[in-house]
Chains A and B, each alone.
Chain A
Amino acid sequence: MELYLYIALFAPLVGSLFAGLFGASPKTLVTGVVNSSLLFASFVASSILLVHVLNGETVHVEMMTWMATGNLYIPFGFVVDQVSVTMMMVVTVVSTIVHIYSIGYMDHDKGFNRFFSYLSAFVFSMMVLVMSDNFAGLFIGWEGVGLCSWLLIGFWYHKETATWAANEAFIMNRIADLGMLIGIFLIYWNTGTLQYDKAFAIMPTLDMTTLIYIGIFLFVGAMGKSAQFPLHTWLADAMEGPTPVSALIHAATMVTAGVYLVVRANPLYHLVPEIGLFIASLGAFVAMFAASMALVNRDMKRIIAYSTLSQLGYMFAAAGLGAYWVALFHLMAHAFFKALLFLGAGNVMHAMNDELDPFKMGGLRKKMVGTFIMMTLASIALAGVFPLAGFFSKDTILEVGFVEHHYVIYTVLLLTAGLTAFYSFRLVALIFHGEERYKLFGFHPHEAYKFMLFAMSPLAILAVIAGSFKTTYFDMVTKLLPETEYHIHSHVVEWVMILGTQAFVIAAIWYAYKKYINFKGEDKEFEKRLCYKILINQYYIPYFYEEYISKPYKELSDILWRKVDLKIVDATVDLIAMTIYKTGENTRTMQNGNLSSMLRWMVAGIVILLSLAVAFGLAVRYSDEITSVLSGLGV
């Protein structure tokens, strides 16, 4: 089994290095094919491991020692258990599909090879993140995915907005990573180990304050990576990257790392339920908050990004309430349909020459049948309509909220489900139905390559059937995670809830269709309203960050640069250099080649050395007297 573990882990790395060899050369199809095959190998290895884990066994290897000094011992250890194998399957399935899809999507791009190198490097980092058996390895993967995310958001580095978005994402993550790092330090400090199993075994003996601090700091890291409020602005801006990147990194895998961390640290959060409640409340808030921003946005990819944010909120809500398996299940289901939605959006973008405004589209279903079907399926799954994947995962989260008696969270999440359905189908209606508005703008849409649609089809199938894995999945994952089934005791209440939610969601879908299917032009009256302005400006949070954080920071930096750096630091360094330079200038006359003057310098040197020798000799001889004199002076 170790062999499969290593294949699953290192095949993407090999692919990345291979594609990296051709990084600077023009497009070579072979990199795309080789990398996709290696990813597929990784997927096959992960599947074999999944079967192994389903049989109730886990794999734990220690590849080599990484750090060993004193009491600190950190190995490169990897573990394949019920939780990490779920993540491995999600990562490898989505990334294999995205790799194949990218061969078509990046077809005309100059950086084709570079793209595959980064993409595979990302998958490798993600695998390290989910497979590591200790916090240090997790952190390496955590930073690795951050780096690859930066590289890929800024992939089109000639675009100012792309580099800006890449830096924003990186800096936001860095702020959060500091919290994460402090959390890891605290764990090491208090438990003396970073291995998950050992550290979690010691945690119940620690005092409450320490645990709360550890929980908070680790969650700060999770907030950054999973773009939770107030560190959420980077995710929408990250849509500047190529669409396959958005599908893989900013929807299916990397942004869920925060959820994975909370799930992985479940013994810790079990001990401090207060933080759990905070996580759940923040999750519910973000779910609603992000969904509301998606309602009015006019950028196809941003709408889907806000939707991702909102679904991450659902996952945190579930994880915070202690329903870790539900969070992980929603993570899995969400990865499938959200990646599908993004890849569909990529097809639409290709068809429309990278146009992102759905108001300029319309009626595309005639030209793009395959994409239309898949995006509709993904949207139904996202909205949570029976019997697609989203129904099973999201409905369970709602039930968790209800059963745990957190009715506020339940209500917020229920309302968000309606909003989700509305904005998803607003998008579908605007893109695929109604009049063919794109003709006005002179677009000539065409369907994507056949193999791209073919590559997407497994995701479409998974988006439909993922819900049926629920029982198997529950049996598997609860060997590791707390086993709580969330059943509403009264059957009547349960049926009312399910049917009510379904009716609500379907009503939202119907309303979205009704409102946007015969979309004529923008509603000027509506756009003047305050609520629209707040939502389209994302609650003025980016504006606030820009005005009250970025600008003062820039001004402060400017002052520090002019006053401190130039006048103090630079001046000091210059002074040292100038002193040495002047000394050299003045003493070079010593080296005038005149023997006579050299001899004089030699004599001077001897005199100095001799006097020093005499002085030190006297000092040593009379050291006692000197000490007594000095002590008399009170030194």
Chain B
Amino acid sequence: MEIGLTHYLVLATILFSIGLIGVMRRKNLLMLFFATEILLNAVNIGFAAISHYYNDLTGQMFAFFIIAVAASEVAVGLGLLIVWHKRTGNINLDTMSSMRG
């Protein structure tokens, strides 16, 4: 059986769902970052697969951009996370309510 577009898209969807559940359920900020990465990479797989299917490089180019943006985002996010950990001693999401309206 040849692996086609459908398989890639199913994989992307599964990954996206895992990421989404992670985003919703996890209370640990580090785990949240992982979940976000999974979300982004699910999208990347989709882009790359469709790009290959249509023989159009634009989608793969997008995937690279997303990887670059995700890397910088994680770098900033981890920096903030470390600062937060140094201040409060934990990285539990529920304790982060200083922006409460």
Contact = CB atoms under 8 A, between A and B. Distances in A.
Contact of B97 (A588, A592, A600): A592
Interface string A579-620: 000000000100111111001100100000000000000000
B97 A593 contact: yes
Given A596-B93, A596-B94, A591 B24 contact: no
Given A596-B27, A599-B24, A603-B20, A588 B101 contact: yes
Contacts of A588: 101
B93 A591 contact: no
Interface of A is mostly: helix
B86 interface: no
Contacts of B96: 593-595
B99 interface: yes
B98 interface: yes
Most buried by B among A592, A596, A603: A596
Contacts of A594: 93-94, 96-97, 100
Contacts of B20: 603
A28 to B, nearest CB: 58
B100 A603 contact: no
A286 to B, nearest CB: 72
Interface string B64-101: 00000000000000000000000000000110111111
Contacts of A593: 96-101
B38 interface: no
Contact of A591 (B27, B94, B98, B101): B101
Nearest to A600: B24
B23 interface: yes
Interface residues of B, number: 13
Nearest to B101: A591
A596 B97 CA distance: 10
Contacts of A599: 23-24, 32
B37 to A, nearest CB: 15
Contacts of B24: 596, 599-600, 603
Contacts of B99: 593
Interface string B39-59: 000000000000000000000
B50 to A, nearest CB: 17
A585 to B, nearest CB: 13
A134 B37 CA distance: 78
A305 to B, nearest CB: 68
A20 B36 CA distance: 71
A52 to B, nearest CB: 76
A413 B100 CA distance: 88
Nearest to A590: B101
Interface string A546-588: 0000000000000000000000000000000000000000001
A586 to B, nearest CB: 14
B28 to A, nearest CB: 10
B95 to A, nearest CB: 9
Contacts of B23: 599, 603
Contacts of A592: 97, 100-101
A596 B21 CA distance: 11
Nearest to B25: A596
A603 B27 CA distance: 16
A603 B94 CA distance: 18
B21 to A, nearest CB: 9
A591 B99 CA distance: 9
A599 B99 CA distance: 14
Contacts of B98: 593
A596 B28 CA distance: 10
Most buried by A among B24, B27, B96, B98: B24
A599 to B, nearest CB: 5
Contacts of B101: 588, 591-593
Nearest to B96: A595
Contacts of B27: 596
A569 B101 CA distance: 35
Contacts of A596: 24, 27, 93-94
Contacts of B32: 599
A592 B96 CA distance: 11
A266 B24 CA distance: 86
B27 to A, nearest CB: 6
A592 B100 CA distance: 5
A418 B24 CA distance: 102
A462 to B, nearest CB: 79
B30 to A, nearest CB: 13
Nearest to A594: B97
13 contacts: A588-B101, A592-B97, A592-B101, A593-B96, A593-B97, A593-B100, A594-B93, A594-B100, A595-B96, A596-B27, A596-B94, A600-B24, A603-B23
Given A592-B97, A593-B96, A595-B93, 18 more contacts: A591-B100, A591-B101, A593-B97, A593-B99, A593-B100, A593-B101, A594-B93, A594-B94, A594-B96, A594-B97, A596-B27, A596-B93, A596-B94, A599-B23, A599-B32, A600-B24, A603-B20, A603-B23
Interface of A: 588, 591-596, 599-600, 603
4 tightest A-B CB contacts, nearest first? A593-B100, A591-B101, A593-B97, A596-B93
